[in-house]
Chain A
């Protein structure tokens, strides 16, 4: 098996090339299908709002040697609060009881009853009541933050790359990531908590970070592309994506590893909670972010720039030059094979004086 480093070398030189740009309609179709599925899931199944969003009361009993839901269910039945209530075990030592919103007195009674039922001290029982309007505030803040972030980061990318098309492409890819993450939440039925919101907001930064790194390579490769006739803008962009592929793989593995370990520890050891919720959103979002910066952001950018006159004309010139080269090679099988073997796009290697070998050759007379 080829090592990643060797693959990286071949990708860099253009010897091996994945058609990120060439097959972009396929990637668009896949992304479109997944996004549609997400929207359908969100619309039909819907998200499961956590207690912070629907309002309610929560009592958590900790420091249990052997957490069981039985005593809590009995207490709920005795108190007449069983309808709309749920009891879950969390981690290896906690039980969480969620109910509809209770008055302070009711909540204190429930806490006391649970304290007795589990035989723990008062300090091990925590009680929470969350009003339903609290969520409206969180949501509106989140949405406002999202909009402002989009505007600011769009301006930043625009300012750095000097083209609004990169900003648009990056933000479109980002929207895809967020939609997918929310879709997975709808599919998994996990409760949406403030920690989920934190996770989604973090994806913003991470996904864009990734896209910016790829775009930086695109910018470098396509710098002054109109002055040469070897490769088109799209081919150079494709080379850039290929060249940053190994980095993207390494980065996402390294980024996802701690998140995955947080997710495993969070989901299987701790149960529902801040850590698990953040980890799950990030796990999905980071993978989606990496995939989208490779398969979506750059293709969208190429499509956007493809409408520019300069890019179109340069593409025509490249096609002409290629035809010319083919015509020049004539029926020389060796020359044709060499042309076929040459990558459509390869890095321009600086620092080498090619000597006379780079000079135009006089056509050798055939014997």
Chain B
């Protein structure tokens, strides 16, 4: 009748117990060493935070590809990470939306970083400042301090000569020489002296004298701008977060790599949207050989190519004039450079190689430097992102205060506890002693689910949301259902006339099928929801899936062994009135299912006409004769093997 009987239920129970305990020990170790916490991470709706949903739109109506979105996410992630926000979640949601979730209350600057689309511009360099005024001032003061009596002019001129245009240098030397004496130089004084182009001692807002009629002209900048540039500390993290800059005006831009270089750049010559493609690769020589030198190849669209032709002609002219100039530090050598600016930060600035002698008109540019492969890739990505004709509109910006989530969580948990208590009462009424098995199973399932979620929160960064909590509460009922299916099957088997031990075994074989297939349906629902649904639905689907799997594990590894095991106790095995396994409760056809081998009680319920007549006849015979009747031997035969075992165990 039963082929794969559970031999050692206690051993299986212990195994499960061990697994759960080990899991918790692992979690505790993780928590103790500060790698995780005992409680699962909470999602934004419970912890509080800001969620921004961005929808990209194309300016030219072209299709948005997956690659575009992934690049956009990559850029946003870089920006948010650079701003120092930890545990920000940036993901795709729905069709084309990008969801940026920032825990806590992010600053307005951080939010702007996310909201603003990445903008790439190519700008001409007007000035390059190697360091801020603060650095110069500090260097000079140190020098003065160390050589209190030495000539004070030296450090200033040294520093200045490398950055300031030589034609301005003589005019500046005198005020600086006077400014040096004994008192330490403040940053403001240093910046003033460095930026004071016309030498009148004050910083004026008027444009400098025009040097040309293109975007490289000094006329775009002013003393004030130079002063501001010197006052900018490009080594500090705050100035490296990027910002949106007016493409039509000269701007101050920091080097993105944090080297501290400050660029004063002219208005944008070419916008990033004019880049058709950018890719990284090994340099190919004119003979077609590949040499081990990483370069980034850039291709402009027609408009970009046109603009780049003008720009390249201009920059080559600056380069040549710088080369012929007697002074190596000519401002023209700076102006010969072209800066790639992403989000207001200069990714790189470079001039043309000496072998480029004519303007580049085909719109194809190869950027070389001493790139590693990774650097080349990054630059190519950055350039391609700037080339995306994508801009973002904020679909929703949600600031969720933690208090709202906490109140909901607390009340949700209260609701869960009330629901749990009601279930316990109902099960006690319906299944009596078996209710204990069900509730114990549920507790094990709860412990298991909590463990799985805490571990997933550790390993995968899963965070529990309010929808997830609702999922867990609802799962109480769904998990219970598999116990009920099992218990009802056991009842059915007893009604069929099996002994209790055999019924548990046989009922399990049937129930297992049903439970596995119906759990598969649930799991399928969870998986479909997880992969196809949006936002909160995902958190819910995830908990639903986890609880379904845990439910399966618990009923196989706990509930079934437990039921087999408790039959060894007299209370259950003999069908005590309160055990939920009593014959009246189960509708047993024969008391033989229990000890004592009493007469069958309810055979009449399904007995056929012939059988009833036979029974009546036997009753008559029994009255005449006290010898054992047919029915007694029959029922003993059919149940012998099982009741025998039961006897041993009881």
**Neighbouring A residues of B466 by C-beta, 8 Å:** 274-275
The contact string, 1 if C-beta is below 8 Å from chain A, for chain B 472-516, is 011011101100110010011001111000000000001001100
A4-B430, A138-B94 as given contacts; A361 in contact with B634, CB under 8 Å: no
Q: How far is the CB of A152 from chain B (nearest CB, A)?
A: 6
Partner of B611, one of A138, A217, A357: A357
Stretch at the interface among A22-30, A142-150, A314-322: A142-150
Q: Is the CB of A257 within 8 A of B477?
A: yes
A residues less than 8 Å from B537 (CB atoms): 194, 197-198, 201
Given contacts A255-B480, A335-B609, contact A265 B532 (CB under 8 A): no
Contact A198 B467 (CB under 8 A): yes
A6 touching B514, Cβ below 8 Å: no
A5 to B429, CA, bound (A): 10
State whether the Cβ of A118 lies closer than 8 Å to any Cβ in chain B.
Answer: no
- Decide yes or no whether A354 CB sits under 8 A from chain B: yes
**At the interface, yes or no: A313 with Cβ under 8 Å from chain B?**
no
* A292 vs B336: C-alpha distance when bound (angstroms): 79
Evaluate contact between A126 and B401: CB separation under 8 angstroms: yes
- Judge whether B403 and A262 touch: CB under 8 Å: no
Report the nearest A residue to B615, measured CB to CB: A357
Which residues of B have CB within 8 Å of A270? Answer: 407-408, 411
Q: A134 and B53: CB pair below 8 A?
A: yes
Q: Are A275 and B415 in contact (CB under 8 A)?
A: yes
Contacts A198-B536, A213-B485; is A347 near B396 (CB within 8 Å)?
no
Q: How far is the CA of A342 from the CA of B612 in the complex (A)?
A: 12
Distance to closest chain A CB from B490 (angstroms): 12
Cβ contact of A13, chosen from B418, B541, B606, cutoff 8 A: B606
For A357, list chain B residues within 8 Å (CB): 610-611, 614
Interface stretch, picked from A178-186, A245-253, A303-311, is A245-253
Q: How far is the CA of A125 from the CA of B498 in the complex (A)?
A: 65
CB-defined contacts of B162 to chain A, threshold 8 Å: none
Q: Is B470 an interface residue (CB 8 A)?
A: yes
- List, in ascending order, chain B residues with CB within 8 A of A94's CB: 404, 407
- From 205 to 260 in chain A, residues with beta carbon under 8 angstroms from any chain B beta carbon are 205-206, 208-209, 212-213, 216-217, 220, 243-244, 246-247, 250-251, 253-260
Q: How far is the CA of A5 from the CA of B579 in the complex (A)?
A: 13
**Closest CB in chain A relative to B639 CB, distance in Å:** 9
The reply to whether B496 and A351 contact each other, CB–CB distance below 8 Å, is yes
Beta-carbon contact of B412 and A130 below 8 Å: no
Hey, which chain B residues are within 8 Å of A46, CB to CB? Answer: none
Give the complex CA separation of A97 and B528 in angstroms. Answer: 35
Task: From A9, A130, A346, A355, name the one whose CB has the most chain B CB atoms within 10 angstroms.
Answer: A9
B: interface residue count bin: 35 or more
B496 touches A350 (CB 8 A): yes
A269 located at the interface, meaning its Cβ lies under 8 Å from any Cβ of chain B in the complex = yes
Chain A residues with CB under 8 A of B419: 257-262
Cβ of B484: which chain A residues have Cβ within 8 Å of it?
A: 247, 250-251, 254
Q: Is B1 an interface residue (CB 8 A)?
A: yes
- Whether, in the assembled complex, B526 has its beta carbon less than 8 Å from a beta carbon of chain A, the answer is yes
Residues on A with C-beta less than 8 A from B412 are 262, 265-266, 275
Chain B residues near A141 (CB-CB < 8 A): 94-95, 532-534
Q: Are B585 and A13 in contact (CB under 8 A)?
A: no
- Provide the residues of chain A in CB contact with B529, threshold 8 Å: 145, 149, 201
Once the chains bind, are A205 and B521 in contact (CB under 8 Å)? yes
A137 close to B95 (CB less than 8 A) = yes
Asked if B166 is at the interface (CB within 8 A of a chain A CB), the reply is no
A332 → chain B, closest Cβ, in Å?
A: 10
Residues on the B chain within 8 Å of A148, using CB? 528, 532
Tell me the minimal C-beta distance from B479 to chain A in angstroms.
9
A133 to B54, CA, bound (A): 11
Residues of A92-128 at the interface with B, using a CB-CB cut-off of 8 Å, are 93-94, 104, 123-128
| CB contact list, B395-446 vs A, under 8 A | 395-401, 403-404, 407-408, 411-412, 414-416, 418-420, 422-423, 426-427, 430
Contact A131 B403 (CB under 8 A): no
| Per-position binary interface string of chain A over residues 137-171, scored 1 when its CB falls under 8 Å from any chain B CB and 0 otherwise | 11011101100110011001100100000000000
Q: Is residue A366 within 8 Å, beta carbon to beta carbon, of the partner chain?
A: no
Q: Are the C-beta atoms of B533 and A91 separated by less than 8 Å?
A: no
Q: 1/0 per residue A3-44: CB within 8 Å of B? A: 111101110111100000000000000000000000000000
Q: Which residue of the partner chain, among B408, B416, B535, contacts A258 with CB atoms under 8 Å?
A: B416
CA distance A117 to B529 in the complex (A): 42
Given contacts A62-B401, A195-B467, contact A216 B587 (CB under 8 A): no
* In the complex, residue of chain A having the shortest beta-carbon distance to the beta carbon of B499: A351
B487 to nearest A CB, angstroms? 9
Which one of A265, A334, A343, A361 contacts B418 once the chains associate, using CB atoms below 8 Å?
A265
Closest B residue to A332 using CB positions? B609
Which of A8, A144, A217, A258 touches B476 (beta carbons < 8 Å)? Answer: A258
B638 part of interface (Cβ distance < 8 Å): yes
From residue A247, how far is it (CB to closest CB) to chain B in Å? 4
The yes or no answer to A349 lying at the interface (CB within 8 A) is yes
Task: Give the contacting residue for B481; candidates A131, A254, A262, A273; CB below 8 A.
Answer: A254
A301 interfacial by beta-carbon distance below 8 Å = no
Please give the distance in Å from A331's CB to the nearest CB on chain B: 15
* CB neighbours of B397 from chain A (8 A): 104, 127-129
Contacts of A243 in B (CB 8 A): 492
Q: Which of B216-251 contact A (CB under 8 A)?
A: none
In the assembly, what is the distance between CA of A347 and CA of B605, in Å?
12
Whether B110 is near chain A, meaning CB under 8 Å from some CB there, is no
Q: Which B residues lie within 8 Å of A9 (CB)?
A: 495, 586-587, 602
Q: Contact between B638 and A140 (Cβ–Cβ < 8 Å)?
A: no
Q: A8-B491, A141-B533, A349-B496 known; A153 and B524 CB under 8 Å?
A: yes
Contact residues of A between 75 and 97, Cβ < 8 Å to B: 91, 93-94
Chain A residue with minimal CB distance to B639?
Answer: A351
Q: Does B15 contact A (CB under 8 A)?
A: no
Checking B404, B430, B474, B522 against A250 with a beta-carbon cut-off of 8 angstroms, the contacting residue is B430
A298 to B515, CA, bound (A): 19
> Chain A residues near B558 (CB, 8 Å)?
none
Q: Is the CB of A265 within 8 A of B634?
A: no
How many Å from the CB of B2 to the closest CB on chain A? 11
With A206-B478, A212-B514, A351-B498 as known contacts, state yes or no: A246 contacts B609, CB within 8 Å: no
Given A243-B492, A346-B606, A353-B634, decide whether A160 and B534 contact each other with a Cβ distance below 8 A.
Answer: no
Q: Do A255 and B481 touch across chains, with their CB atoms under 8 A apart?
A: yes
Check A173 for interface membership: any CB of B closer than 8 A.
Answer: no
Across-interface contacts of B474 in A (CB, < 8 A): 202, 255, 258-259, 262, 278, 282
Chain B residues lying within 8 Å of A216, measured Cβ to Cβ, are: 513-514, 517-518
The answer to whether A45 has its CB under 8 Å from any CB of chain B is no
Question: Does A264 touch B at the CB level, under 8 Å?
Answer: yes
The answer to whether A204 has its CB under 8 Å from any CB of chain B is yes
- Closest-CB distance, A101 to chain B (whole angstroms): 10
A353 touches B638 (CB 8 A): yes
Q: Which residue of A lies closest to B611 (CB)?
A: A357
A134 lies within 8 A of B395 (CB): yes
Say yes or no: B416 contacts A262, CB within 8 Å. Answer: yes
B518, B585, B602 pick with most chain A CB within 10 angstroms: B518
From A123, which residue of chain B is reached at the shortest CB distance?
A: B401
Docked CA distance A339–B105 (Å):
78
Please name 12 further chain A to chain B contacts, defined as beta carbons within 8 Å, in addition to the given A12-B492, A137-B534, A255-B478, sorted by A numbering.
A14-B606, A138-B94, A160-B517, A202-B474, A209-B522, A250-B488, A259-B473, A265-B412, A274-B470, A278-B467, A346-B606, A349-B589
Chain B residues near A (Cβ < 8 Å): 1, 45, 53, 55, 94-95, 97, 105, 393-401, 403-404, 407-408, 411-412, 414-416, 418-420, 422-423, 426-427, 430, 466-467, 469-471, 473-474, 476-478, 480-481, 484-485, 488, 491-492, 495-498, 510, 513-514, 517-522, 524-526, 528-529, 532-537, 540-541, 544, 584-587, 589, 602, 605-606, 608-612, 614, 630, 634, 637-638
Q: Nearest 8 A-B pairs (CB), nearest first?
A: A258-B419, A9-B587, A205-B525, A255-B477, A338-B609, A145-B532, A265-B415, A137-B94
A sample of 5 inter-chain contacts (CB < 8 A) reads: A148-B532, A149-B524, A250-B430, A282-B474, A357-B610
